[in-house]
Structure 1
């Protein structure tokens, strides 16, 4: 697990996908007050608590795992069709508008009036679109170690980083390869 921060447009995507620690199984969104804490940190109104909390958690988990699959695909694997369809469905439910500032610069932002999972998804969609436009989306990757899958931003010069940490996951993979060759 690395501390290479992504560009601002991708921070929310990275933080959402990393709410599940695959190695320990700890899901910070499912912890008591977890969704509310995540919502507070990211300024998302209407997320967590109340009668719809279980439904919101299911939506966030589906979005999180579909985003993780997309980030894993950035390492050269194919994205499972189910994850691709889920991500497409969630992003289609996130209305965006183009806002133009006083200098004439255009940006994507969530449509007015969104709250809860719809607002979160719209912010994720705007971040992905911005990152795709500036070429940084493909650098947000999931570690291919099946017991890790931590999402990290690849800051390597060529953009070919594979592991969240060479000291941990990369080293383990190289050792497994070495041992397999020695057998």
Structure 2
């Protein structure tokens, strides 16, 4: 289990390093009230769960990108920073990356761009704790934008779900992480509303 936050939604991870961004987004709480709720893996007082999540997610990222595993040590001070980063990435995805409008300054983080002996460029995260995770997530987002796959990382349109999913549809038209679950619920609500309006 390399992507525990994404797997708890029964989703497939995004390809390559973009899975780390999806994984960060899926640490958010989700679900309707009741026993099926998914807790916030980065919530206040959840340092143990956050550290366990980070260990697995970073190991998954290292495996997907061919980099060495990095052991991060998170602190209580890192949790609000990671939640802020998560919320900012969510807003960026919701904005669609179209530019224009009011510019909002989001989190920034340092990266090292290196030139390998074979002429390839690499982007390596810098920092420790939340700073390293921000650096890695933003670097993967930048690489995904450059390769044209950033637009396929989406947030489920069902507000009580809001899972981050990678849209594998041919025309990039997916809006729910699960057509059977969240999609059916939305269609039922719309059908009931149309009946109510007609009545």
Q: Select 2:23's aligned residue among 15, 22, 29.
A: 15
1:72–1:44 distance in 2 versus 1, CA, 3 Å: farther
Q: Structure 1: how far apart are the matches of 2:135 and 2:47?
A: 25
RMSD of aligned alpha carbons: 2.5
Mean Cα deviation higher: 9-18 or 61-70? 61-70
In structure 2, how many angstroms separate the alpha carbons of the residues matched to 1:115 and 1:165? Answer: 35
CA distance in 2, matches of 1:32, 1:127: 24
The TM-score normalised by the length of structure 2 is 0.76
Whether the 8 Å CA contact 2:42–2:79 is kept in 1: the answer is yes
The structure 1 residue matched to 2:145, chosen from 115, 119, 132, is 132
Structure 2 residues not aligned, in runs of 5+: 1-8, 32-36, 59-68
Counterpart pick for 2:86 among 64, 69, 91: 64
Greater helix share, structure number:
1
Alignment counterpart, residue 172 of structure 1, candidates 172, 185, 188: 185
* Corresponding position of 1:5: 13
TM-score, normalized by length of structure 1?
0.82
The alpha carbon displacement at 1:32 in A equals: 4.9
Structure 1: where are the runs of 5+ without partners?
Answer: none
- What corresponds to 1:99 in structure 2? 114
Cα distance in 2, alignment partners of residues 44 and 67 from structure 1: 22
2:73: which partner in 1? Answer: 47
Task: Give 1:95 shift.
Answer: 0.7
Give the alignment partner of residue 29 of structure 1, picking from 35, 42, 46: 42
